[in-house]
Amino acid sequence: MPRFVVPSGAKRSRGKLLETLLGFVNVFKPAGPTSAQTLARVRRVYGVYAGDRSIAAGHLGTLDPQAAGVLPVAIGKATRLIALLTDQRKAYAGLLVLGRSTTTQDALGDTIATGDVPNDWERRLRDAIPAFLGRIEQTPPMHSAVHHEGRRLYELAREGKQVERRARGVMIYSITLLGVEPSVARLRVTCSEGTYVRALFADLGEAIGTPAHLGGLLREASGPFVLAEAFTLEEIAANPSRALLPPEYVIPFPTIVLDLRNVVDFRAGRVVPLPQGAPAKHVFVRDESRMLVGVGETHGALLAPRKVFS
């Protein structure tokens, strides 16, 4: 796997190091802290490393506090590239716990209802799964980060308030039964961004005929970021440059190199000639020192700036 490594021992100015710190980090978020808390720790690491506590950082898709797994983070000006990520498919492994539903649809919530688990629940689950594949409608849970009139739904839920939520379409690509234990099923789900696995598991329980909740959740993949390649917070703190991935690893645009004159024009927002034939509609643009200059859009033999990094 390519790594964007700052050579140890090299003397680099603060400005040069800040230019280098542009990329993505595949973070393993443990169960417990929120995604925002995990992001703050990663930002602090790279802020100290670069000598700039105000360095930009943003995560790609919130994980619930009790969930663990892949939490991609953009560092520096890579936050401006998030919109270019087209692969937003997610993969999760979770526990479907039967016989109890909760206020939060997971193990942390208060009990709403309990019920007997049918003896043939495994057969019922296998029969129910096909109806949940493809495009389905989901109503965001009250305990979620969705905004309602300027406030998060979970803030309203903590105040005991219920508000009307609009259902939205999500895509469920696959649901695989990995194994069963008494009143518990281990499932793997691949789905589109915006899917609430908690809501999906509660609906599966309803289809079986018993209350249910999500007992535990592990995000195994988020787009091109996979669990086997994720770094713990401790590993990132020990070697920040090793954990930083170049944009080309995450966004499958080819790279072209411009000479100094065309780099100056490109950074000024002017259209420049392509040094070779157009390899794709969009390309990463680097200068002769291989510093990332921006993202260009090809038009025949010309290259137009789409995003420019000064």
Q: What mean pLDDT do residues 62-88 have?
A: 92
Active site residues: 64
The string of pLDDT tens digits covering residues 36-47 is 999 999 999 999
Q: What mean pLDDT do residues 28-36 have?
A: 95
Q: Where in the chain is the domain with CATH 2.30.130.10?
A: 255-308
Which CATH fold would you assign to the domain 255-308? 2.30.130
Instruction: Check residues 283 and 162 and name the one with the higher pLDDT.
Output: 283
DSSP string, the chain: ----PPPTT----HHHHHHH--EEEEEEEPSSS-HHHHHHHHHHHHHHHHT-TT--EEESS---TT-EEEEEEEEGGGGGGGGG-----EEEEEEEEESEEETTSBTTSPEEEE-PPPTTHHHHHHHHGGGGSEEEEEPPPSSS--EETTEEHHHHHHTT-------EEEEEEEEEEEEEETTEEEEEEEE-TT--HHHHHHHHHHHHTS-EEEEEEEEEEETTEEGGG-B-HHHHHH-HHHHEEPHHHHS---EEE--HHHHHHHHTT--EE-SSS--SSEEEEE-TT--EEEEEEEETTEEEEEEE--
Percent of the chain with pLDDT over 70: 85
The string of pLDDT tens digits covering residues 221-244 is 999 999 999 999 999 999 999 999
Instruction: Grade residue 117 by pLDDT with cuts at 50, 70 and 90.
Output: very high
CATH superfamily entry for domain 90-222:
Pseudouridine synthase (3.30.2350.10)
